[in-house]
Structure 1
Amino acid sequence: MNVKNVINKMLRKSISIPYCLIKRVKRDSVDFLMTEVCHIAENSQYQLAYRKIPKKYDDIPMLDYQTDTSYAIVMQGPIRTEENFTLTTVNYYKRTFPQAHIIVSTWDDEPKDIIEQIKKAGACVVLNSKPTCTGTLMVNYQLVNSMGGIKKAAELGAEYIAKTRTDQKISRLHFLDYCRALIQTFQCQPNESKENTRIVTLSMTYGNLFYPYLISDFFYFGKTFDMLRLFSIPLDTRERYVKIKKNATRRDFSRLMIAPEVYIMKNYFQLLGCAGDDTIKDYWTGVKNNLICISMKDLDIVWPKYEERYRMHHYYGNYFEDDSRDKLKTENFDFENWINLYSGILQYRPEYEKYADVIFK
């Protein structure tokens, strides 16, 4: 155990001792502790708050929409065995979305006993073989794994598919109907060359309005035809790590499609008629015409793997402390910026191209 872990363990224990005393005298001990901690840690720069996400929903009254729409939730990736996370998430989805097909699309070398537990929980399991070529930052793993689950969803007759991950849980109770309503409300312009429905994507902290095609790949929601088309893009023939010059810009990274998110979205936009020329103009055109971008709080994702980096209060707080007017890292395609772009309130200007040419780091 390294020094950092030892210190963290000691600090955690020092906090737990007074909390044990608080629980004895305060009925609302969690709220009391968190409220007081927020007050103590506040400073002139930040007002602090906290949130609670239920682990179980059995006792929470939920409005039944009584929809007859056929949904599928495709959980793709390796099984997360810590705290039985993937298995408990399957159980949660089966309880919360009884009308949906729950599909776990993973690898054929995962432990058989865990696979059997997931099947018994009611999920359909798809076992995929790992591609021989990983592609940049292993993008082919996501393409192959996602496509296996999406094809199974199509076979089961799903009309709409949500692609998420085996190490994430979406906590919002009606997100499937919410995403479907968005697609029905914000329709594409008629085009004889393709079916015209949008894909719902998720805004995360690292995305940016000025890094061409960098749209988070954690979550996609769309009609089955569009989801099949999204993940039918060609596999990347490159190896895992692509060389790039020192002090490269956002546009340089986009041109080489180093990030899996960029590889997927740039190829998809080109399939739909975009130029793929790594300009802010082309990027915004693709987003405006083909996507609906929603915000982190719209899904309330639990992601233990990167809890320290991507939890909600980092999104609003110190994750962007080093932002500047020269980089505008905080500006992202969340729902607020997307709806303003869609409506014409936010409009492209040539001077925005300068932000794609700043050094990325």
Structure 2
Amino acid sequence: MRRRDGLFDRLANRLLRRTIGEILRRGAYYVTYHRRPKRAADIGIRPEIADCGVPCAIVLQGPVDTIDDFTLETVRLYRARDPACRVVVSTWRDTPAALLEALARAGAEIVTSDKPADPGPFNVNLQLVSARAGIVRAREGGAVFVMKSRTDQRLYAPSLMPMLLALARTFPPGGGTRQRARVFGLGQGNLLYVPYHLTDQTLFGHADDILAYYDAPLRESAYPPGFPRDQLRMFREVPIGALARHAAAETYLAASFLARIGRPPAWTLEDSWGAFRDCFCVVDQAATDFYWRKGQATTLTDSLLSYACATTRREMGFSDWLLLHAGLLDPAAARAFEEVAQARFEEPVAPRAAASPAAHRAWETKPVA
């Protein structure tokens, strides 16, 4: 039964629609908005496939997000939407017992760990410890495929888990590595122009691969000489090539994983596109209905896409990945963008059509069958 909005929601929705209507009439942009229920009980759509026959688990790692009971409501949604899929919450030993008990009553398995003494650059060590503990629990319980996510993120797509399993079957890895299945980067954070920048926040894949992905050594917090200690200054001042190689958690985990499966990174954008083609896949925000409470509650938008020009922050979507996989976009086309490594985060990138003749040659030499 559809829930009737309360008075505040009705008034806010009316005001929002009127405001957007004025923007559409007077402004230079088309604007839409997207409402997602906060409570699992208000989400009535369910997948047509309730059980895909493959044991799966969802691991939520990090501190319990108590704003709007976000983590608790996420557990409730996943248990109702994917009843055959186990949900593991991997958090810290100092979490209040009442929060853990509520999560357990909602159907989550609870794993707690001690925080590492050194959180590492961008808190990567905190992620490694809690992610590993949750994935180990999922594997011990028989999970063959695992989605590792965060306690402050939610993926609303009704058929999410069946879709991910279908993608894993449809797109096996390119071969030549010690990898059971592709690693899928979900939602946001898969960047086209930053080497090996597969999101580290929400991933899906074979349980053995996802455990290997988060089995990187803990990282010391020391940065190279000349790096600012303030993270915002780091994004503004450090070239993205150096940021990727020496600081970013996403690239550290992806590069470490590639080395462990027998495909050590060459630290070029061309090799990065090749790694995405052969070892990874992107399931973007549109396909997953991804919501990051920390991120989208701040930006108030589902996408950071700039229509004015491409920037170093440009996301790689499924369509970009599919062109790589099909051979219609040759990783060699990335050579024209290697100088982007000297740019800073969110700076403009040269237009692809003017700078990438190799991409056009790929279309000419690999016609669609």
Are 2:130 and 1:140 aligned? no
> Judging changes above 3 Å, is the alpha-carbon distance between structure 1 residues 59 and 125 closer, same or farther for their aligned structure 2 residues?
closer
Alpha-carbon RMSD across the aligned residues, in angstroms, is: 2.7
Match of 2:22 among 40, 44, 51: 40
Letter in 1 for 2:20: C
Unaligned runs of 5+ in 1: 1-18, 24-28
Match of 2:182 among 198, 211, 236: 198
**Hey, what's the Cα distance between the residues in 2 that align with 1:175 and 1:299?**
6
TM-score (norm 2): 0.81
> Judging changes above 3 Å, is the alpha-carbon distance between structure 1 residues 53 and 293 closer, same or farther for their aligned structure 2 residues?
same
Are 2:194 and 1:211 aligned? yes
Are 2:151 and 1:166 aligned? yes
What pairs with 1:1-361 in structure 2 (closer than 5 Å)?
A: 33-42=15-24, 44-54=27-37, 55-56=39-40, 60-67=44-51, 68-191=53-176, 194-204=178-188, 207-239=190-222, 244=227, 247-256=237-246, 258-316=247-305, 320=306, 324=309, 328-329=311-312, 331-348=314-331, 349=333, 350-360=335-345
Letter in 1 for 2:202: F
Letter in 1 for 2:18: E
The count of corresponding residues between Structure 1 and Structure 2 is 329
> Judging changes above 3 Å, is the alpha-carbon distance between structure 1 residues 279 and 22 closer, same or farther for their aligned structure 2 residues?
closer
> Judging changes above 3 Å, is the alpha-carbon distance between structure 1 residues 131 and 343 closer, same or farther for their aligned structure 2 residues?
same
Residue 242 of structure 1 and its aligned partner are, at CA, apart by: 7.9
**Hey, what's the Cα distance between the residues in 1 that align with 2:137 and 2:7?**
49
Letter in 1 for 2:22: I
Larger deviation, residues 56-65 vs 40-49: 56-65
> Judging changes above 3 Å, is the alpha-carbon distance between structure 1 residues 138 and 331 closer, same or farther for their aligned structure 2 residues?
closer
Letter in 2 for 1:174: S
1:109-142 CA deviation, whole Å, 9 max, x = no partner? 1101111111122110000111122221210100
Residue 70 of structure 1 and its aligned partner are, at CA, apart by: 1.1
1:198-254 CA deviation, whole Å, 9 max, x = no partner? 0110252x6531111222212100111111111112111334898527843111112
Residue 163 of structure 1 and its aligned partner are, at CA, apart by: 0.5
Larger deviation, residues 45-54 vs 113-122: 45-54
> Judging changes above 3 Å, is the alpha-carbon distance between structure 1 residues 196 and 71 closer, same or farther for their aligned structure 2 residues?
closer
Residue 62 of structure 1 and its aligned partner are, at CA, apart by: 2.8
Q: Is the 8 A contact 1:207 1:332 kept in 2?
A: yes
> Judging changes above 3 Å, is the alpha-carbon distance between structure 1 residues 156 and 359 closer, same or farther for their aligned structure 2 residues?
same
TM-score (norm 1): 0.82
Residue 47 of structure 1 and its aligned partner are, at CA, apart by: 0.3
Unaligned runs of 5+ in 2: 1-5, 229-233, 347-369
**Hey, what's the Cα distance between the residues in 1 that align with 2:175 and 2:225?**
39
Residue 335 of structure 1 and its aligned partner are, at CA, apart by: 0.5
Q: Is the 8 A contact 1:293 1:335 kept in 2?
A: yes
Q: Is the 8 A contact 1:189 1:196 kept in 2?
A: no
Residue 344 of structure 1 and its aligned partner are, at CA, apart by: 1.5
**Hey, what's the Cα distance between the residues in 1 that align with 2:175 and 2:99?**
46
Q: SS at the partner of 1:188?
A: coil
**Hey, what's the Cα distance between the residues in 1 that align with 2:290 and 2:265?**
30
